[in-house]
Structure 1
Amino acid sequence: MIAITGANGQLGCLVIQSLLKRVPAGQLIALVRTPEKAEDLKEQGIEVRQADYNRPETLAPALAGADKLLLISGSEVGQRVPQHKAVIEAAREAGVKLLAYTSILKADRSPLALAGEHKVTEQMIAESGIAAVMLRNGWYTENYSAQAPGLVEMGAVAGAAAEGRLATAAREDYAEAAAVVLTSEENQAGKVYELAGSQAFTLAEFAEELARQSGKKVEFAPMSQSEFTGVLVGAGLPEGFAAALADAEAHAANGWLFDDGGDLERLLGRKSQSLAVAVERGLA
């Protein structure tokens, strides 16, 4: 049995759809905070169980009978360490044989503020004694492409990444890679995958692609980290999260969101989704 946390979230849903191409629905356990919101998963023949990161008593029962667990990192930045700790302890109690964790690119050495909780989580997993595999996901292409219509309307792509190259990948590519690892006949224990897109781009190149596909003028507006934080806050993001995203872009200028090791491409057996396709989908 394979259990997936956050199974009705954006990444979790895609992981499950990819798993269903590889194993029967009866081999999957969808762990969700609110089962009533996962009726679509039940209709597909998947067992749905309540598992709330903030209610540790729900976790061990939810993991009963699970051989493998995909721990999709929590979305509450600043709360993830205690949440992940509760899941790891429950996994150990339930006898999970392989734990896969969606971490962040180069987590063990990354200077990104967002990497801190991932690094601690990886350490907790190592100390738990559970056989584990790290899926160090890079930046999502959707972080940019999902904003495509608005950026075209403004005629500008603001950012603090300067000329840094961003080796992003689509959420569905990261999901498929997770499904491949979870269903692999090869022993995955101890493996660390640095997952990044086949094609890297600068924000200026992203602006050029937006302009090409929209037929409108779109330029890159380089900013300092503090200026970009202000822009994100002005767009409605909470100040702490805005600061973390701007911090990530500032470090991207120095290559911290780039990797050309090819782990993602090897797992997929193909190149990851191109920027052109992502922009096309974003504009649509």
Structure 2
Amino acid sequence: MILVTGASGQLGNLVINSLLAKGVAADQIVAAVRSPEKATALQERGVVVRKADYTDPASLKAAMNGIKRVVLVSSSEVGQRAAQHQNVIDAAQATGVELLAYTSILHADTSPLALAEEHVATEAALKASNVPHVVLRNGWYSENYTMSAGMAVEHGAVLGSAGEGKYSTAARADYADAAATVITSEDQAGKVYELAGDEAFTLAQYAAYITKISGKEVVYQDLPEAEYAKVLVEVGLPEGFAAVLADSDVGASKGGLFDDSQTLSKLIGRPTTPIQDSIKLALS
């Protein structure tokens, strides 16, 4: 059986969709969720739903009963993730999991992004454990930007602190397909995949794509990191999250979110989703 953590979240849900599309029987997939009542749609499709909280070791161990493979979708709680992931690793070790796939961040070991710190800690914890594991170092999700494409059209501007830094983004569904491919394949333990989109773009190019697709002129406005973080807070983001996003833009300016290996498209057997397609979807 294959267990997917964070299964009611955006990436985890897509991983389950991909597993089902690959022909994995629904009753061989376990959706591990903090609130089972939010996973009724998965239950209706025949997927097994089990309660599992990253902060509750006992729930994690119980959820992994009979589980052979685990997709550990990284927690969204920045600042608490290393400890939460350690709980999952400990549960996997205690229950004899045969392979754990972890969603890390692109080039975690050399990344200039502050976000990488907890991923590096988790990768170290995996190495220190005796759990066979594979690391999926995911690049930026296209949706990280396209979720605000409508706002960019409304205001005529894309804001950021990335300068001429290039983003090799891919759609969440692309990364989900990679996770599903790896967790259903053999001889994966010990591998590290650097996963990113086939085509890279600067935020100025991204603004130009929005202009072409929407028919309204949108320009890129580069801001100092502190000013960009302040703007994000003003539009409603929590201060800590705003700081993380601004730092990530600066990291992108240093090459932290660029990769041209095309490992992701090779792994999933198709080209990654172009950013233009993600923009069209967001604006539709």
TM-score by length of 1: 0.98
Cα deviation code 1:149-189 (max 9, x no counterpart)? 111000000100011110011001000110011111x3100
1:110 deviates by 1.1
Quick one: distance in 1 between partners of 2:90 and 2:65? 13
Matched ranges for 1:56-71 at <5 A: 56-71=57-72
Quick one: distance in 2 between partners of 1:33 and 1:221? 39
Quick one: distance in 2 between partners of 1:213 and 1:41? 34
1:41 deviates by 0.9
Runs of 4+ in 1 over 3 A off after TM superposition: none
Aligned to 1:116: 117
Answering whether residue 27 of structure 2 is matched by residue 26 of structure 1, we say: yes
Answering whether residue 239 of structure 2 is matched by residue 239 of structure 1, we say: yes
Secondary structure of 2:86's counterpart equals: helix
Aligned to 1:45: 46
Aligned to 1:82: 83
Answering whether residue 183 of structure 2 is matched by residue 209 of structure 1, we say: no
Quick one: distance in 1 between partners of 2:258 and 2:72? 24
1:263 deviates by 1.1
1:26 deviates by 1.5
Answering whether residue 251 of structure 2 is matched by residue 270 of structure 1, we say: no
Aligned to 1:135: 136
Quick one: distance in 2 between partners of 1:87 and 1:182? 16
Aligned to 1:261: 261
Aligned to 2:169: 168
Quick one: distance in 1 between partners of 2:118 and 2:96? 24
Quick one: distance in 1 between partners of 2:54 and 2:250? 31
Q: Is the 8 A contact 2:112 2:254 kept in 1?
A: no
Matched ranges for 1:144-183 at <5 A: 144-183=145-184
Aligned to 1:10: 10
Letter in 2 for 1:97: E
Cα deviation code 1:122-160 (max 9, x no counterpart)? 000110111100000001100111111111000000100
Secondary structure of 1:66's counterpart equals: coil
Which consecutive unaligned segments of at least 5 residues does structure 2 have?
A: none
Letter in 2 for 1:70: V
Aligned to 1:95: 96
Which consecutive unaligned segments of at least 5 residues does structure 1 have?
A: none
Cα deviation code 1:213-241 (max 9, x no counterpart)? 11111101011111111111111111111
Q: Is the 8 A contact 2:159 2:220 kept in 1?
A: yes
Cα deviation code 1:75-100 (max 9, x no counterpart)? 11001111111111001001001010
Aligned to 1:252: 252
TM-align CA RMSD: 0.8
